[in-house]
Amino acid sequence: MLYASLRRALVVVLSAALLSVGLLAASPSAAQEEWVVGFVLVGPQNDRGWSQAHFEGSEYVKEMIPGVKTIVVDKVNPADRPNVTLEQVIENMIEQGARIIFTTSDDFGTETLAAAEKFPEVVFIHVSGSAVLEGEAPSNVGNVMGKMEFMKMVAGCAAALKTQTNSIGYLGPLINDETRRLVVSTYLGARYCYQTYRGLDPANLKFEVKWIGFWFNIPGVTADPTAVANDFFNGGVDVLISGIDTTEGSVVANQRAERGETVFAIPYDYVGACEVAPKICLGVPYFNWGPSYVRIVKAVMDGTWQSSWDWDGPNWEDVNDRDTSAVGYIFGDALTEAEKETLSAFKKGLGDGSINLFVGPLNFQDGTPFLAEGEVATDEQIWYMPQLLEGMLGVSKAD
């Protein structure tokens, strides 16, 4: 009797501990009666950036597919949960009945593949990865990513239309193929619009990226994005584009604008990111994960899903269509009507193919050729971007 009482008490304590960190559902028995889908987020689900976009994608899945229950565990990173591993999170989700698990960070790639080998009956979707493309994934793994490159081009164009100091800053996270191709896309959009719509020599446009070392600030580990943003503005930048998952760039720009400076910002990832500082926001390129997630979950549920690498693009008829477009761009309040019209024309050109910025001649930052005269980049050449481009300032590789 005493042993049973102690055992029951221990179970209660352990369950409460797991509930407190979001690793255990309140009703596991109910989970077995439903289609359970897990979502693992690297940052807070309310970060107004990357992780919130995924959280809202998970909510869209519940809205659109009756009978689906979701489990969301956020802040799975060494700073917020130093003693929690992705493997532990995944195992808890599976114990609660999860049959599909989305791991939503580039950093989760290796552990996702290991979990897929361990749990072959569960479908794993690694967001932003390309193991399937590389032939390194088991058959129960898929990859999905949005073609954000197009919307980053629009962001670069907006910055080029607005800058008066001819100096654009890019607040970068860590350095890898993904972050290089996104900042390269931003630069190409800025260079094109600076020359085409403003009639200015792109050689006079300063475009610099500074990397903080991770997707968001980790004190003592990364560079402080607030300090980096201030350094940009102190150095003459008047438009700051963010590539990190959080909103420090917009916050700093807003603070300086309130002191009378003419500066602007472009946040990233989340449809509502301009709300942080609407007066100085030139718009936001954002991910809309809902349509991709619904397509994948429905395919798994009806037995038609197959492992694939999906790079989902915008619906060019309406890039902000919640039900069809994987990426979008919301115009910010700081844009004039004329600038909005120019951006709309630029976006239309990207959509119908009359504007193609990944066409040669283009050289890498070290002077070696990327694309020859008239050569159009393939998806793989863009995806695996090994360097920044000639004309860009900032390092191409981590130390």
Question: Which three-class secondary structure string do you get for the chain?
Answer: CHHHHHHHHHHHHHHHHHHHCCCCCCCHHHHCCCEEEEEECCCCCCCCCHHHHHHHHHHHHHHHCCCEEEEEECCCCCCCCCCCCHHHHHHHHHHCCEEEEEECCHHHHHHHHHHHHHCCCCEEEEECCCCCCCCCCCCCEEEEEECHHHHHHHHHHHHHHHCCCCEEEEEECCCCHHHHHHHHHHHHHHHHHHHHCCCCCHHHCEEEEEECCCCCCCCCCCCCHHHHHHHHHHCCCCEEEECCCCCHHHHHHHHHHHCCCCCEEECCECCCHHHHCHHHECEEEEECCHHHHHHHHHHHHHCCCCCCEEEECCCCCCCCCCCCCCEEEEECCCCCHHHHHHHHHHHHHHHHCCCCCCECCEEECCCCEEECCCCECCHHHHHCCCCCECCCECCCCCC
Alpha-carbon distances, residue 199 vs 152, 360, 378 (angstroms): 21, 21, 29
CB-based contact 244:216 (threshold 8 Å): yes
How far is it between the farthest Cα atoms of the chain?
A: 85
Residue 9 is predicted with a pLDDT of 37
End-to-end CA distance of the chain: 61
CB-based contact 253:265 (threshold 8 Å): yes
pLDDT tens-digit profile, the chain (399 residues): 333 333 333 333 333 334 444 444 433 333 345 799 999 999 999 999 999 999 999 999 999 999 999 999 999 998 899 999 999 999 999 999 999 999 999 999 999 999 999 999 999 999 999 999 999 999 999 999 999 999 999 999 999 999 999 999 999 999 999 999 999 999 999 999 999 999 999 999 999 999 999 999 999 999 999 999 999 999 999 999 999 999 999 999 999 999 999 999 999 999 999 999 999 999 999 999 999 999 999 999 999 999 999 999 999 999 999 999 999 999 999 999 999 999 999 999 999 999 999 999 999 999 999 999 999 999 999 999 999 999 999 999 987
In percent, the amount of the chain with pLDDT more than 90 equals: 90
Residue 395 identity (one-letter amino acid)? V
Alpha-carbon distances, residue 170 vs 27, 281, 388, 393 (angstroms): 45, 15, 13, 10
Domains of the chain and any CATH numbers:
21-146+289-312 (3.40.50.2300), 148-286+327-383 (3.40.50.2300)
Alpha-carbon distances, residue 65 vs 54, 125, 127, 297, 367 (angstroms): 17, 18, 20, 9, 51
Residue 34 is predicted with a pLDDT of 79
Residue 394 CB burial class (10 angstroms; 0-12, 13-18, ≥19)? middle
Residue 32 is predicted with a pLDDT of 40
376: left (phi over 0), alpha (psi -120 to 50) or beta: beta
Residue 31 is predicted with a pLDDT of 37
Cross-strand bridge partners of residue 264: 239
| CA dist., res. 258 & res. 295, Å (int) | 44
Residue 399 is predicted with a pLDDT of 76
Backbone angles phi, psi at 240, to 5 degrees: -115, 120
With CA atoms as reference, report the closest residue to 186 among 12, 391, 13: 391
| CA dist., res. 48 & res. 270, Å (int) | 6
Cross-strand bridge partners of residue 210: 171
Report the predicted TM-score, pTM, of the whole model to 2 decimal places. 0.91
Q: Per residue in 142-163, pLDDT tens?
A: 999 999 999 999 999 999 999 9
| CA dist., res. 242 & res. 252, Å (int) | 11
| CA dist., res. 346 & res. 187, Å (int) | 14
| CA dist., res. 207 & res. 166, Å (int) | 8
With CA atoms as reference, report the closest residue to 73 among 93, 53, 56: 93
| CA dist., res. 273 & res. 126, Å (int) | 24
| CA dist., res. 184 & res. 200, Å (int) | 20
| CA dist., res. 280 & res. 266, Å (int) | 9
Q: Per residue in 127-146, pLDDT tens?
A: 999 999 999 999 999 999 99
